[in-house]
Amino acid sequence: MSTQASDLSHDKEKGIVVDETTLPIEAAPEEAIVRRYGRFGPFLAKLFASGVEARGVERVPEDQRETKNMWNNLLMWWSVNTVLTTIPIGTLGQAFYTLTLPHAIATILCFGALGGVATAFISTLGPKTGLRTMIITRFSSGYIGGTIYSILNILTQLGFSVTAVILGGQTLASINPGTLPLVVGIIIIGILSVIPCFVGYHLVHYYERYAWIVIFIIIMFLWGLGGHAGFDINAQKPLEDTGRALSADILSFGGIVFGSFTGWAPVAADYNCRLPANTSSMKVFLLTFFGLWIPICFVEILGAALMTISDPAYTQAYADGSTGGLVAQVLAPWGGGGKFLLVLLGLSVVANNIPNSYSAGLSMQSLGRPFALIPRFAWTFLAFVIYTVAGVAGREHFSEILSNFLSILSYWTAFFIVIVAEEHFIFRRKGGPLGGYNLDDWDKPSRLPIGFAGILAGCFGVAGAVVGMSEVWYTGPLGQKAGAEFGADLGFELAAAFAGVVYPPLRWLEIRLTGR
């Protein structure tokens, strides 16, 4: 190898440069990997050669794109959300907000559609740019702003993972009470989740392509058994609020539903960035939207419907074992067969937790160049350790964690989506101030926006969330005025509005002053 080639450099866009030829990191020869990773090189070279994904947050250039996995824009999200984890979101409409079933269904459908549109838009940017979602934010909020979003997304994905492993563990533990400790169930779910993520992109897509089939059938069984037990659409009528209090309940529950959709927005481009750049954006949008909206609404409405069963045994099952206990009670008439289905449902959360684990690792790499030098699978393993330990620690407080987490989640994802959308449609459009994306600049801070417009707009978004939010521990002044006794949660609406209003003029000023 020549002296020039021996001075190995890592091309942040395409892979590893060897003898002046840029290779994808997966195809780089062993000596190149050894030069990049030093003493760990031989081990990593063998690991990558065995099929473990080597690519991290590096851009996927056009000549390395793949036409396969197009339908996974639908099937992946269908698998990710046709899971046990989605059911408890629907139960919150009655458990926390005393909504009747018709009002809960209307809220899920409407706020779900809004969240689905927002997330599907982010998904269209994957093929266009060949970049992971958190790297895309650098084109609107700069290198520092992208790092801030990466931190928020790490917390988001870890939060999703905590709720997933707790619910999966609860379900496995409830099959034969006293035989499998909840802690062991949580660890089992965590281990099963991390295996496909460790291997990487292709195994994730392969698993998620088929995982929905069996669980969708089980969800249909739950609908049938629940209907046999007796859904009562008026079950919550005596408890439901009226007037402003009812509006507040709908807005607050709607924020949770919106968050259950937009929680996937910060990772939506991670799973289609290898599709060709000329892939139809409309097709990606529609597949992603329906891959989210249909299964999430279908399963969340099931959760809401199960809460209307008036049999005291079902009420007590929910009180004793939360959603896992309720589902176990629904399947109880089938005896051993019901327990087997409960095992499969408990394991279904693996499909939901895989993108959390995989994208948490990518977001850790997105924190900056030093972090990107550490292989993606190492960060994925660290994420597994963190959320498993947190799940064990918070295993007795699932409902509280879920309701508060999803509400807060909807706040930051709302202004993140608005800022990225305004950058794309106003400033990066053809004929716009910037006329498109210079994708070669994705890891060049001196060529990216400084980021003060995106960061300040994000700060305004936080301010909007603070004045509009309504949580158990705090209610903002506008949130208080919008509701009755406990206020209404307007956090995500005001976060999006505040950021959306201030970002265009700030970004215009930034471009005028800096040219980027």
| Model pLDDT for residues 321-352, shown as the tens digit of each residue | 778 788 888 998 998 899 999 999 989 999 99
The C-alpha atoms of residue 250 and residue 111 are separated, in whole angstroms, by: 10
Task: Name the band, by pLDDT with cuts 50, 70 and 90, for residue 4.
Answer: very low
pLDDT score, position 17: 37
Distance CA 320, CA 105 (A): 25
Give the model's pLDDT for residue 271.
93
For 116, 140, 205, the CA distances from 77, given in Å and listed in that order, are 11, 26, 10
Exposure string over 2-21, b if 16+ CB within 10 A, otherwise e? eeebeebebbebbbbbbeee
Scanning the structure block, which residue is given the tokens 């989506």?
Answer: 417
Per 3-state DSSP, the chain is made up of helix, strand and coil in percentages (nearest 5) of: 75, 0, 25
Do residues 80 and 354 lie in contact, with contact meaning Cβ atoms separated by under 8 Å?
yes
Q: Which residues, other chains included, contact 153 with Cβ-Cβ below 8 Å and sequence gap of 6+?
A: 133, 134, 266, 267, 359, 360, 363
Joined together, the tokens standing for residue 306 give 């199960």
Supply the pLDDT for residue 35: 62
The share of the chain scoring above pLDDT 90, in percent, equals 53
Complete domains list, the chain, with CATH: 71-397 (1.10.4160.10)
| Nearest to 150, CA basis, from 404, 372, 472, 456 | 372
The pTM for the full model equals: 0.89
Closest CA to 57 of 491, 406, 376: 376
Of the two residues 151 and 41, the one the predictor is more confident about is: 151
Nearest 5°: phi and psi at 470? -145, 100
CB atoms near residue 385 (< 10 Å): 11
State the amino acid at position 265 in one-letter form.
A
Alpha helices in 179-311 (DSSP H): 182-199, 201-210, 212-229, 243-262, 281-306
**Does residue 245 register a pLDDT over 90?**
no
pLDDT of 365 > 90? The answer is yes
* The two structure tokens encoding residue 278: 């000329």
Alpha carbon distance 297, 334 (integer Å): 26
Please give the Cα distance from 64 to 357 (Å, whole number).
25
Tokens 């507040």 label which residue?
Answer: 248
Q: Which backbone phi and psi does 117 adopt, to 5 degrees?
A: -60, -45
Residue 227 amino acid letter: G
pLDDT at 10: 39
Candidates 469, 462, 471; CA nearest to 491 is: 469
In this prediction, residue 23 carries a pLDDT of 42
Helix/strand/coil for 470:
strand
Instruction: Report in angstroms the alpha-carbon separations of 395 from 384, 400, 478.
Output: 16, 11, 33
Using CA atoms, how far residue 233 sits from 152, 295, 301, 309, 316, in Å, is 39, 21, 12, 9, 19
Name the residue type at position 217. Answer: I
Instruction: Give per-residue pLDDT as tens, 395-420.
Output: 776 656 665 666 677 789 999 999 99
Cα 383 to Cα 365: distance, rounded to the nearest angstrom:
12
- In 3D space, the residue among 472, 402, 355 whose CA is nearest the CA of residue 170 turns out to be 402
Alpha carbon 486 to its chain centroid, in Å, reads: 29
**Helical segments of 230-280, H only:** 243-262
pLDDT at residue 248, as a whole number: 87
In the prediction, which pLDDT does 403 show? 57
Give the Cα-Cα-Cα angle 256, 148, 377 (nearest 5 degrees): 90
Q: Residue with structure tokens 């959320």?
A: 387
Spatial separation of the C-alpha atoms in residues 465 and 473, rounded to whole Å:
14
Residue corresponding to tokens 């539903």: 257
The values of phi and psi at residue 58, to 5°, are -60, 145
State the pLDDT at residue 21: 37
Give the tens place of pLDDT for each residue, 109-136: 999 999 999 999 999 999 999 999 999 9
Cα angle 405-410-416, degrees, rounded to a multiple of 5 = 130
